[in-house]
Amino acid sequence: MASPNSARYRLACSGEKSRRHSLAEGLPVSEANTFVHAPVMEREIVDVFGDVPTGTVVDATLGGAGHAVALLSAHSHLDIIGIDRDDVAIAAATRRLAPFGARARVARARFADFDDVLSALGTEAISGALFDLGVSSPQLDEGDRGFSYRVEAPLDMRMDRGQKLTAADVVNTYERSELVRILRDYADERFAGRVADGIIAARPVNTTAELVEIVTSAIPAATRRRGGHPAKRTFQALRIEVNNELGQLPSALESAIRHTQPRGRVAVISYHSGEDRIVKGIFRQAETGGCECPAHLPCGCGAVRLVKRVRVKETPSPSEQESNPRSRSARLRVVERLVEKV
């Protein structure tokens, strides 16, 4: 088990000035200051955690700490453990959370490391957990990260810039069948085969602009005239593959449910069908305990139900969708931990 001093987690308590805890060291102040954005469904998330027991909420996708700041400001009975693997996000979040002192702790890690982070911080039972999935607005806005199809940059897309796999590796080394798979599974791309063929024919592909041109040429003109930017789905699929976003989600959600105490809540904001299917499936399993008994009969199989549904596929308000177009695809699901039977 990793210790709080390990390089893997690089834990930081906001407000502490020691060298071991200064995650912003080595990063330009401009980077730390610009990783700030309006969190999606902020009002709804504040409401979700208003009635949970006193204790710790884990923000498993901390980003610029927008949700964390809102929760700490609104609920004096809560403290926060924030998890993120992006070094720029960690630096910005640490600065924003500093005024809250010991009520905010930050860990640089993947949310798949949920169990290990809590162990390293000496925390077992939590009051809830929040997952705001997908790429953050600041990551899209930082053109040199390669997440955006609107800015020319190297094909990177790594949330953790210490990992080896980049979008360029995927684009230039994956077999056609692998490219088609990720385009279909992670982005519902109708023209996955045509896009994959275009990529392979143009190799090596080095920049986002080159990839945008390839994808645009591969998609029929009639389709390009509707449904948004033609490269949007390809960039989404590559980002998910590079960062293994869907692969780590089931275990992280299961860990969050397991650690949440009775009447605590787990909330997930997802942005596309692949994410939402996984969330729905994990929540359904926890809600039913795997029971397959006929719906009209009492359960006789001994299944243990862990949660109840609180919010199901809730969407942002019309005013938020208008003011923040990136929120339009957001879907919120929430479950509440049941009191365990003795």
User: What letters, b where the CB count within 10 A reaches 16 and e where it falls short, cover 208-238?
Assistant: bebbbebbbebbeeeeeeeeeebbbbbbbbb
More confident residue, 176 or 297: 176
Alpha-helical (H) ranges within the chain are 29-34, 42-48, 66-74, 87-97, 114-120, 137-141, 167-173, 176-187, 192-202, 208-218, 221-224, 232-243, 245-259, 273-288, 318-323
pLDDT tens, residue by residue, 35-46: 556 799 999 999
Task: Give me the pLDDT at residue 228, please.
Answer: 82
pLDDT at 261 over 60: yes
Mean pLDDT of the chain: 87
- In the predicted model, what is the mean pLDDT of residues 278-293? 93
Residue 298 preceded by cis peptide, ω within 30: no
Instruction: Using alpha carbons, select from 320, 341, 340, 342 the residue that is nearest to residue 330.
Output: 320
What's the CATH number of domain 142-243, 1.10.1200.10, 1.10.150.170, 2.40.30.10, 3.90.79.10? 1.10.150.170
The DSSP output letter for 204 is: S
Strand 260-270 relative to strand 331-337, pairing: antiparallel
pLDDT tens, residue by residue, 292-339: 888 788 888 888 899 999 999 899 999 999 998 889 999 999 999 998
pLDDT tens, residue by residue, 93-108: 999 999 999 999 999 9
Instruction: Using alpha carbons, select from 244, 263, 288 the residue that is nearest to residue 112.
Output: 244
pLDDT tens, residue by residue, 222-254: 888 887 899 999 999 999 999 999 999 999 999
How many helices (H) and strands (E) would you count in the chain?
Answer: 15, 8
| Domain residue ranges in the chain | 12-138+245-337, 142-243
Task: Give me the pLDDT at residue 28, please.
Answer: 39
pTM of the prediction? 0.86
Pairwise CA distance, residues 270 & 253, whole Å: 13
Q: What tokens does 18 get?
A: 């020691």
The hierarchical CATH code for the domain 12-138+245-337 is 3.40.50.150
List beta partners, residue 304: none
Q: What tokens does 16 get?
A: 């502490």
Task: Give me the pLDDT at residue 37, please.
Answer: 62
